[in-house]
C-alpha cells in the first residue's frame, strides 16, 4: 500500500519496501513504498521478511529499479541505481545500536542532559505550560503556565520556584469535603442457618426459611438453595458464579454518605443454572470447584478467610441468556441478603473491628480528573443496577440498559458504598462484580490522591447496536467537555466487541485534548482489533500466564497495583512526559518494568 507525501516524511528512516510490483526503470517515489507501520504484521504473517543491509526510504527515494520488483520486496543497494549516500538503514532492532553507545566514553546527548543535578531549563510544552523535571526530587514535576501571567510564581521567571531546595508549588487551596462515608466493619467468625436472621457476637444466623421467600421473588425462579462454605471446606463443586455480594447496610444517611455497617469475614456468592442444566453465563463459565475457580483476594472476590454463603438459584429453562433470567436470580438472592442487612442496620453498642472513612473531596488547584467505567449493557445477561437503595442491593437500582446506556455520574463515595449491583455475566475472569465496585481500587486510589481533584465517576454502558455505541460515546465526549477535566482514565470490563466502545470512548475524550489512559484486559486472547491515536497510554489487566480469559473468577480485573500504574501513567501524560509506544505484542516484561516505576 503506497505512502502519501505526509506519511513519507514520518518514515524516511524506516526500511524501504516496494508496496506493489514495479517495472524496471521505475524512479521510486512515495507511491512505491509500503507503509512501515504495518511491517510487524506483515512479518508476523510471513508475508515479508526484513533483512540486514536494507536501504531506508530516504536512501531509496529517487533511485531507479534495475529489474522488475515484486510487491513487498525489501530494497537493497544491488536492486537500485542512484542510491543516495546517507547513513545506513537502521537494522530492525534499533536497540542494538543504542546499546553500543551506552557506557561508551563519549557521552551522548541524553547522558549529558542527565548529568547535572540542576533542573533542566524549562521549555514551553504543548498547551502553554512549562514543565520542569528535577532529578533530585525523585520524579517530582512542576507544571505551570508558560508566559508572563503566572500570578503565584515569583517575579521574573519560573526558574526560582524550581531551584528552591524544597519545591512547594505555592499554598495548596483548602480541600472541600462534599460528603463523608464511614464504613464500620463487624466481624463474622461463624455463619449458621437457623430459624431467624440475626447477628451477634460474630455469629451471623440466616433464617433457613428465607429460601422459600427467595423462590417467590420472581416467577422465573424455580429453586433456591443456600449453603455455608467455610474457608477450610472450599473444595466443593459449584455452578457458575454470577456475583459476590457483601452484606452492607445503611445505618445512617443515604448511599454515599453517613454510616454503612459491613459484615467482614462473610460474603454472599450467587451461583446459577437454568432448569435444563445450562449454566447462567456467557463468554466462559466458572462452574467447578470453588477452591480452584475463584481468585481469592481480588477486589471482587471473597477474601482468603471469608466464609461464603452460597445462594444457588435455578431459573426457568432458556432464560439464562435473556435479561430477565439473571435479574430474577439476583432478585432471589437479594431477598436473603436483605434480611441480613436488616439484622445489621442497628448495631448500637457493638464495637466495629475497623472503621474506614471515605471522603468525596474536591481539591481546588489540582488537575481535575474523571474516571470513566464502561459497564456491559447489551441486554442478554449484560446489565447493571445503578444506585440501589441499600449498598450492593437490588431494589431501587436503575438498569443501565433501560437508561439507554448513556453516561451516568456517581460520586466516588456512591460507588464505594455499593452504588453498582453488577448483573453482568461476561467472562468470569474479566467481569467486574458487585463486590468489585464496593472496593474499586481506582476509585479508592483516585479519591485519596492529594495531587488530583477527582470530579466523579462516570458509568457508561456498552450497547448492542452500533449506532447506539456511537451515541453514548458522543454523549460521554460532551459530558467530559462540560466537566472541563484535565485528565481521564477509561476502564472496561470484558473484551471483544466492547473494545469498540472502549476505543470510541477514549477517542471521545482524547479528541477534546484531554489526556486519557485506557485500562482493560487485552493480552493474548483479547487483543484489540480497533484503535485510534488517543490510545497511546494503556494499562493491561491480564494476570493469566498465557494471556487468556482463564475462567477463574475476577482474575483479570483491576487490582491496586493496576490502579497505581494507571494513575502514574495519567499524571505522567498530563505533565507532557511521553509514554513510550507499546511492544507489538503483549509482553509481561513491559508491565513488570512499569510496576517498578511506581514508587
Partner 1 sequence: MPTAFKLTTAKGLKSEIYVPWTPKPVWTPLTKPLSRCKVAFITSGGIHKKDQTPFNTAGDWSYREIPSDTPSDQLMVTHGGFDNSDINKDVNAMLPIDRLRELVKEGFIGSLVPTFYGFMGGGGNVDKFEHVTGPEIAKKLKAEGADIVLATGGCGTCHRSCTLVLRCCEAAGMSTCIIAALPPIARQQGAPRITAPLVPIGSNAGEPNNPQMQMGILKDTLNAMEEFDHFGQMKALPYEYRHNV
Which position among 91, 120, 150, 209 is part of the footprint of partner 1 (CB under 8 A)? 150
The yes or no reply on residue 243 touching partner 1 (CB under 8 A) is no
Which position among 376, 426, 508, 575 is part of the footprint of partner 1 (CB under 8 A)? 575
Please name the residue that has the C-alpha cell 447496610. 249
Taking only Cα atoms into account, the Rg of the chain, rounded to an integer number of angstroms, comes to 28
The yes or no reply on residue 258 touching partner 1 (CB under 8 A) is no
Which position among 49, 67, 152, 398 is part of the footprint of partner 1 (CB under 8 A)? 152
Minimum Å distance from CB 299 to partner 1? 19
Listed in sequence order, the residues at least 6 apart from 223 whose beta carbon sits closer than 8 Å to its beta carbon are 215, 313, 314
In the complex with partner 1, the residue whose CB is nearer, 231 or 582, is 582
The yes or no reply on residue 169 touching partner 1 (CB under 8 A) is yes
Please name the residue that has the C-alpha cell 531546595. 165
Choose one: 239-247, 293-301, 406-414, 516-524; the region binding partner 1 (CB under 8 A). 516-524
Contact string (CB under 8 A) for partner 1, positions 32-71, x = contact:
--xx-xx--xx--xxx----------------------xx
Minimum Å distance from CB 522 to partner 1? 5
The yes or no reply on residue 23 touching partner 1 (CB under 8 A) is yes
In the complex with partner 1, the residue whose CB is nearer, 112 or 597, is 597
Give the bridge partners for 360, in sequence order. 179
In the complex with partner 1, the residue whose CB is nearer, 276 or 465, is 465
H or E stretch at 562? helix 560-574
How many CB atoms lie under 10 A from the CB of residue 465?
Answer: 11
Q: How far, in Å, CA of 118 to CA of 247, rounded?
A: 55
In the complex with partner 1, the residue whose CB is nearer, 30 or 251, is 30
The yes or no reply on residue 466 touching partner 1 (CB under 8 A) is yes
Q: How far, in Å, CA of 196 to CA of 318, rounded?
A: 34
The yes or no reply on residue 379 touching partner 1 (CB under 8 A) is no
The yes or no reply on residue 142 touching partner 1 (CB under 8 A) is yes
In the complex with partner 1, the residue whose CB is nearer, 31 or 50, is 31
* Cell numbers placing 193: 442457618
Alpha helices in 20-92 (DSSP H): 39-44, 57-60
What part of residues 302-331 is at the interface with partner 1 (CB under 8 A)? Answer: none
The yes or no reply on residue 488 touching partner 1 (CB under 8 A) is no
Which position among 365, 396, 404, 560 is part of the footprint of partner 1 (CB under 8 A)? 365
In the complex with partner 1, the residue whose CB is nearer, 232 or 589, is 589
Please name the residue that has the C-alpha cell 509514554. 579
| Angular region, 256: left φ>0, alpha ψ -120 to 50, beta rest | left
Please name the residue that has the C-alpha cell 454503612. 260
The yes or no reply on residue 201 touching partner 1 (CB under 8 A) is no
What part of residues 113-132 is at the interface with partner 1 (CB under 8 A)? Answer: 127, 129
Minimum Å distance from CB 104 to partner 1? 21
Which position among 28, 210, 375, 568 is part of the footprint of partner 1 (CB under 8 A)? 568
In the complex with partner 1, the residue whose CB is nearer, 29 or 97, is 29
The yes or no reply on residue 170 touching partner 1 (CB under 8 A) is yes
Torsion sign over Cα 563, 567, 568, 570: positive
In the complex with partner 1, the residue whose CB is nearer, 33 or 437, is 33
3-class secondary structure per residue, 232-274: HHCCCEECCEEEEEEEEEEEECCCCCEEEEEEEEEEEEEEEEE
Which position among 496, 508, 552, 553 is part of the footprint of partner 1 (CB under 8 A)? 496
Minimum Å distance from CB 242 to partner 1? 22
Contact string (CB under 8 A) for partner 1, positions 206-235, x = contact:
------------------------------
* Cell numbers placing 207: 433464617
Number of C-alpha atoms within 13 angstroms, CB side, residue 531?
12
Which SS3 state, helix, strand or coil, does residue 239 take?
Answer: coil
* Cell numbers placing 509: 475524550
The yes or no reply on residue 12 touching partner 1 (CB under 8 A) is no
Choose one: 252-260, 339-347, 431-439, 580-588; the region binding partner 1 (CB under 8 A). 580-588
Choose one: 94-102, 228-236, 412-420, 589-597; the region binding partner 1 (CB under 8 A). 589-597
Q: How far, in Å, CA of 542 to CA of 544, rounded?
A: 6
CA-CA-CA-CA torsion for 184, 290, 325, 339, nearest 10 degrees?
-30
Rounded to the nearest angstrom, the gap between the alpha carbon of residue 374 and the centroid of all alpha carbons in its chain is 9
Which SS3 state, helix, strand or coil, does residue 106 take?
Answer: coil
The yes or no reply on residue 353 touching partner 1 (CB under 8 A) is no
Minimum Å distance from CB 96 to partner 1? 18
Instruction: Enumerate the active-site residues.
Output: 425
The yes or no reply on residue 528 touching partner 1 (CB under 8 A) is yes
Minimum Å distance from CB 448 to partner 1? 14
Which position among 141, 274, 312, 374 is part of the footprint of partner 1 (CB under 8 A)? 141
Q: How many residues bind partner 1 (CB under 8 A)?
A: 90
Minimum Å distance from CB 121 to partner 1? 17
CA 425, 431, 435: angle at the middle one, nearest 5? 100
Number of C-alpha atoms within 13 angstroms, CB side, residue 33?
33
Are 590 and 583 in contact, with CB atoms under 8 Å apart?
yes
State the DSSP string of 169-211: -SPPPPEEEEEEEEEEEEE--EEEEESS-EEETTEEEEETTHH
Amino acid at each position: 500500500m503506497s505512502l502519501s507525501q505526509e506519511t513519507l516524511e514520518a518514515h524516511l528512516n524506516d526500511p524501504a519496501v516496494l508496496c506493489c510490483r514495479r517495472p524496471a526503470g521505475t524512479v521510486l517515489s512515495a507511491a512505491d513504498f509500503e507503509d512501515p507501520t504495518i511491517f510487524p504484521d506483515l512479518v508476523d504473517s510471513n508475508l515479508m521478511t526484513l533483512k540486514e543491509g536494507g536501504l531506508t526510504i530516504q536512501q531509496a527515494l529517487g533511485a531507479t529499479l534495475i529489474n522488475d520488483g515484486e510487491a513487498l520486496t525489501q530494497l537493497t543497494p544491488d536492486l537500485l541505481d542512484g542510491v543516495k549516500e546517507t547513513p545506513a538503514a537502521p537494522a530492525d532492532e534499533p536497540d542494538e545500536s543504542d546499546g553500543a553507545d551506552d557506557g561508551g566514553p563519549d557521552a551522548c546527548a541524553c547522558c549529558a542532559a542527565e548529568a547535572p543535578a540542576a533542573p533542566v531549563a524549562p521549555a514551553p510544552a504543548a498547551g502553554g505550560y512549562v514543565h520542569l523535571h528535577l532529578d533530585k526530587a525523585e520524579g517530582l514535576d512542576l507544571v505551570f503556565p508558560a508566559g508572563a501571567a503566572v500570578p503565584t510564581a515569583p517575579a521574573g521567571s519560573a526558574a526560582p520556584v524550581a531551584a528552591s531546595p524544597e519545591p512547594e508549588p505555592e499554598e495548596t487551596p483548602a480541600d472541600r469535603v462534599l460528603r463523608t462515608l464511614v464504613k464500620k466493619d463487624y466481624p463474622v467468625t461463624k455463619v449458621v442457618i437457623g430459624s431467624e436472621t440475626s447477628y451477634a457476637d460474630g455469629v451471623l444466623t440466616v433464617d433457613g426459611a428465607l429460601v422459600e421467600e427467595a423462590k417467590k421473588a420472581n416467577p422465573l425462579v424455580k429453586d433456591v438453595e443456600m449453603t455455608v462454605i467455610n474457608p477450610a471446606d472450599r473444595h466443593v463443586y459449584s455452578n457458575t458464579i454470577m456475583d459476590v455480594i457483601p452484606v452492607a447496610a445503611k445505618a445512617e444517611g443515604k448511599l454515599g454518605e453517613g454510616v454503612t455497617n459491613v459484615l467482614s469475614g462473610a460474603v454472599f456468592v450467587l451461583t446459577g443454572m437454568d432448569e435444563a442444566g445450562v449454566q447462567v453465563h456467557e463468554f466462559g463459565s466458572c462452574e467447578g470447584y470453588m477452591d480452584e475457580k475463584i481468585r481469592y483476594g481480588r477486589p471482587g472476590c471473597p477474601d482468603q478467610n471469608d466464609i461464603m454463603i452460597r445462594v444457588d438459584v435455578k431459573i426457568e429453562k432458556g432464560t439464562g441468556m435473556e435479561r430477565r433470567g439473571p435479574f430474577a436470580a439476583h432478585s432471589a438472592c437479594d431477598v436473603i441478603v436483605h434480611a441480613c442487612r436488616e439484622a445489621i442496620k442497628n448495631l448500637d453498642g457493638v464495637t466495629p473491628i475497623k472503621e474506614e472513612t471515605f471522603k468525596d473531596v474536591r481539591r481546588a488547584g489540582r488537575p481535575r480528573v474523571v474516571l470513566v467505567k464502561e459497564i456491559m449493557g447489551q441486554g442478554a445477561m449484560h446489565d447493571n443496577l445503578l444506585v440501589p437503595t441499600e449498598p450492593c442491593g437490588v431494589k431501587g437500582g436503575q438498569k443501565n440498559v433501560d437508561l439507554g446506556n448513556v453516561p451516568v455520574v456517581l460520586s466516588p463515595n456512591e460507588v464505594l458504598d455499593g452504588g453498582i449491583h453488577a448483573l453482568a455475566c461476561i467472562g468470569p475472569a474479566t467481569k467486574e462484580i458487585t463486590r468489585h465496585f464496593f472496593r474499586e481500587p481506582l476509585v479508592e486510589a483516585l479519591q485519596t490522591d492529594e495531587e488530583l481533584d477527582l470530579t466523579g465517576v462516570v458509568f457508561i454502558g456498552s450497547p448492542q447496536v452500533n449506532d447506539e455505541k456511537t451515541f453514548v460515546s458522543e454523549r460521554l465526549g460532551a459530558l467530559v467537555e462540560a466537566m472541563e477535566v484535565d485528565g481521564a482514565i477509561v476502564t472496561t470490563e470484558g473484551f471483544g466487541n466492547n473494545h469498540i466502545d472502549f476505543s470510541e470512548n477514549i477517542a471521545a475524550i482524547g479528541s477534546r485534548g484531554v489526556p486519557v489512559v485506557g485500562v482493560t484486559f487485552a493480552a493474548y486472547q483479547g487483543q484489540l482489533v480497533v484503535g485510534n491515536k488517543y490510545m497511546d497510554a494503556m494499562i493491561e489487566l491480564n494476570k493469566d500466564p498465557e494471556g487468556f480469559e482463564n475462567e477463574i473468577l475476577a482474575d483479570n480485573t483491576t487490582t491496586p497495583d493496576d490502579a497505581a500504574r494507571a494513575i502514574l501513567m495519567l499524571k505522567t501524560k498530563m505533565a507532557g512526559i511521553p509514554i513510550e509506544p507499546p511492544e507489538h505484542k503483549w509482553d509481561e516484561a513491559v508491565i513488570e518494568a512499569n510496576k517498578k516505576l511506581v514508587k
